[in-house]
Amino acid sequence: MSLSSSQTVPSPTGMPLSSSVSPKVVIGMIGLGTVGSGVFKIFRDQPEIFFQKIAVKDASKTRTIDDLDLDLLSQDPHAVVSDPETQVIVELMGGAELAKDLVVAAIQNGKHVVTANKELIAKHGPELFELARQHNVRILFEGAVAGGIPIIMPLKLSLGANRIEEIAGILNGTTNYILTKMTQEGWSFEQALQEAQAKGFAEADPTNDVEGFDVGYKISVLSLIAFKQVVDPLAIHREGITHITAEDIENARELGYVIKLIGLAKMTDDGRLDIRVHPMLIPNHHPLSNVQNEFNAIFVKGDAVGDVMFYGRGAGEMPTASAVAADILAIATGLLKGNEPIPSMIIDPAIPAKLQPVGETVNKYYLRLNTKDKPKVIGHLGNACGDAGVSLESVMQKGINPDGTASIVLLTQAVREDQMNQALSAIREQESTSDIGCLLRVL
């Protein structure tokens, strides 16, 4: 950045610097793990971005950064957020409670905050945004939802003229990798999970991913921006993918669908928020159906723009670091020019969401079950559905299982979930029903 001899820029302490001093924005970072290392690598040769201190749990840990100056490292994150010269705190430690305390302290000390912490924003975002508003600082969090995919700023700015009607996203690379391998290779869930763990796409304990908690945090954050609705992520209806079998994957293929774990949020006509996390059958013609392996995608429907989709790598060192670094640059640009950083990214106050009960949602359904191999079974299933007001779109008998039962697949028309549950209860009670295998919704 070039400066004329008459120009001055704010110093980290607020005093003007003469033009003979190279202007810098002073960064304090909390966490130097996978993403933090990527952010450091991006900026280490950029003179405008100066790392003052980086808080870590273990300063002696071997890291992937060449020639790292160990004097940069501190094991006291509170000292980092209270440093008087630091202008921007980059929080990359994860977790919610300690991270919240540190971010609050940073804001109260007049520092801007960049974070990739989805749990923090999902649980405490509105409170932190209000505190930031009071102290006239910014919180940017582009990396919190979809790694390297830009979605927060596009929702806030690029699509700001729209009333967002629906968001449907593949928001977790681990589960998408598992379901892709089950689809392409015919693997079981357990086989695909082991492969994901071996390649580093899944944690040793994959519960947060495969049971949908991760997606719950992310769709909660997206709803906060798109609908200005505050959603407790633990109140979101959530189902994981552990019950999906290779048989379900093949059945979906025959019906013209693929199975994906989806975070879904949309406004109802009466102003309630329909927000859920669960696997869904995606039609082959839908853009989300072709999102493979560890990639993520967010499908957005606006009243003016229509359908748009954001696609890319949803996690990993450099993709997420790219989003975090862009947020840092957005703040730094304002600071270096002596301007207020991106006032358009002040997050608007939000209201508590009125959630639509999942029983009132309307979906098409896929049902796989096993029945005794005897006459009139299909008729009995049709009667149970008809009595509950559930119309069937198709019925497939998949053959006889080794135990002598018949495998049957039903695909329904769109119906309220409580009606589907009524039909399911009646089917479960029929003498010919052996077991209910899998019930999935259709996008």
pLDDT digits (tens, 9 = 90+) for 160-211: 999 999 999 999 999 999 999 999 999 999 999 999 999 988 999 999 999 9
Evaluate whether 89 touches 331 at the Cβ level (below 8 Å). Answer: no
pLDDT at 157 over 90: yes
Asked if 256 contacts 286 with a C-beta cutoff of 8 angstroms, the reply is no
Please identify every residue annotated as catalytic: 218
Can you give the pLDDT at residue 8? 36
On whether the CB atoms of residues 32 and 74 are closer than 8 A, the answer is no
Q: 106 vs 13, which has greater pLDDT?
A: 106
Domain 158-313's class? alpha beta
pLDDT band at 287 (very low <50, low <70, confident <90, very high): very high
In sequence order, the β-bridge partners of residue 416 are: 362
Over residues 156-162, mean pLDDT: 95
pLDDT at 17: 41
What one-letter code names the amino acid at 150? P
Q: Where, residue-wise, is CATH 3.30.70.260 in the chain?
A: 358-442
Cβ(18)–Cβ(3) below 8 Å: no
pLDDT score of 206: 96
| Delimiting residues of CATH 3.40.50.720 domain(s) in the chain | 9-147+318-352
Helix (H) or strand (E) holding 120: helix 118-134
Other beta carbons less than 10 A from residue 432's beta carbon = 17
Checking if the pLDDT of 64 tops 80, the result is: yes
Ordered DSSP codes for 245-267: -HHHHHHHHHHTEEEEEEEEEEE
Q: H/E/C letters for each residue in 55-66?
A: ECCCCCCCCCCC
Fold of 9-147+318-352: Rossmann fold (3.40.50)
Who contacts 160 (Cβ-Cβ below 8 Å, separation ≥6)? none
Q: Looking at residue 398, what is its pLDDT? A: 87
Average pLDDT over residues 242-266: 97
Q: Tell me which DSSP letter residue 355 carries.
A: B
Decide if pLDDT at 441 tops 90.
Answer: yes
E strand or H helix that includes residue 318: helix 317-337
How many CB atoms lie under 10 A from the CB of residue 362?
14
Q: Mean pLDDT over all residues of the chain? A: 93
The reported pLDDT for the residue numbered 21 is 54
Average pLDDT over residues 124-153: 96
Q: Give residue 60's pLDDT.
A: 87
Residue 18 has a pLDDT of 39
The fold of 358-442 is: Alpha-Beta Plaits (3.30.70)
The DSSP annotation for 198-230 comes to: HTTSS-SS-HHHHTSHHHHHHHHHHHHHHT-EE
Among 7-16, 24-33, 191-200, the minimum mean pLDDT is found in 7-16
Residue with tokens 């997206």: 222
Is the Cβ–Cβ distance between 92 and 117 less than 8 Å?
Answer: yes
Burial level of 109, CB count in 10 A (0-12/13-18/19+)?
Answer: middle
What is the rounded CA–CA span in Å between residue 250 and residue 273?
33
Report how far apart, in Å, the C-alpha atoms of 257 and of each of 249, 283, 362 are.
9, 4, 19
pLDDT range class, residue 1, cuts 50, 70, 90: very low
CATH 3.30.360.10 residue spans of the chain: 158-313
Residue 77 backbone dihedrals phi, psi, to 5 degrees: -65, -30
Q: At what angle do helices 173-185 and 189-198 cross, to 10 degrees?
A: 120
Question: What does DSSP assign to residue 123?
Answer: H
pTM: 0.92
